[in-house]
Amino acid sequence: MQILKKNDPIDASLARQGFIALINKPQDWTSFDVVNKIRHALKIKKVGHAGTLDPFATGLLIVGAGRGTRALSQFMNLDKTYRAVIRLGVETDTYDVTGKVVKEQDTQMITRQDVEAVINEMQGEMLQVPPMYSAKKIKGQPLYKLARKGKEVEREPQKVVIHQAKMLSWQPPLVEVELTVSKGTYIRTYAHDLGQKLGVGAMLAELARTKIGAFCLEESFELNAFIENWKQTVGQGDEDHKRA
């Protein structure tokens, strides 16, 4: 199955054979929004993705179309790398910038050395409690639906692995971190837990997924550029596309 990167040529055979494409998800789009846009623009019925990104996040999304959807499962378990900007001293109900502020604390006493020490400590295998605002299901009910009703339920801690964590910049109260993590790791929860260990709370302010396995964000198509390229070289979609 061909994996399309931004400098790869696009030709009509892809509509029949199916493909995998590396797409840079725009901010404020859900992963399903991207899939839906590609499905309608390319006139291909079967389109899916290999790993959800939160709407406020940007970055690498692996999309499969036509027969390419059958190959998506091979990408699901790959490690992922993120660049995260974490805001110390503010906690929200969603653990990120989209949520309601529930607590604020002074961070003036926190030093770069304090933050680096905790980042270094939070590596390797660990248990992580999924956030209430997540798609994880408890007894068939997505947690975020319960959270929106003001309900909080006990969540079983999940085993995750932080393979690598590195501070990229420190501009108090903001810290930028690069993280390489296992499947199922919530970066929002990582930010929350970092704040708890520092004693001042924290939330995730920005997030970009830069790598999935060996595939890099730099290799990805901008969504609109991919669609325009397709339309120019393959066309608006014909009966072969619709059957893909």
What size, in residues, is the chain? 244
pLDDT digits (tens, 9 = 90+) for 44-79: 999 999 988 999 999 999 999 999 999 999 999 999
Residue 215 pLDDT > 70: yes
Please, which residues have CB within 8 angstroms of residue 14's CB and are 6 or more apart in sequence? 2, 4, 234
If one compares 26 and 237, the residue with the highest pLDDT of the two is: 26
Residue 39 pLDDT > 60: yes
Instruction: Quickly count: other Cβ atoms within 10 Å of residue 160's Cβ.
Output: 18
Residue 164 pLDDT > 90: yes
Packed helices 223-233 and 31-42: angle between N→C axes, nearest 10 degrees = 10
Q: Do domains 3-76+214-243 and 80-212 have the same CATH topology?
A: no
* Closest alpha carbon to 139 in 127, 125, 151: 151
Q: How far is CA 116 from CA 70, 112, 120, 121, 175, in A?
A: 42, 6, 6, 8, 10
CATH of 3-76+214-243 given 3.30.70, 3.40.50, 1.10.3110, 2.30.29: 3.30.70
Please, which residues have CB within 8 angstroms of residue 183's CB and are 6 or more apart in sequence? 76, 77, 78, 79, 80
Residue found under tokens 């079967």? 46
pLDDT digits (tens, 9 = 90+) for 65-123: 999 999 999 999 999 999 999 999 999 999 999 999 999 999 999 999 999 999 999 99
Please, what is the average pLDDT of the chain?
A: 91
Residue 171 CA to its chain's centroid (Å)? 24
Give CA–CA dist 168/178, Å, rounded. Answer: 7
Q: Give the predicted TM-score (pTM) of the model.
A: 0.90
- According to CATH, the topology of domain 80-212 is Pseudouridine synthase (3.30.2350)
> Is 54 labeled as catalytic in the residue annotation?
yes
Q: Which position among 11, 28, 33, 54 bears the catalytic label?
A: 54
Domain ranges, ordered by start, for the chain: 3-76+214-243, 80-212
pLDDT value of position 236: 55
Tokens coding 45? 């019925």
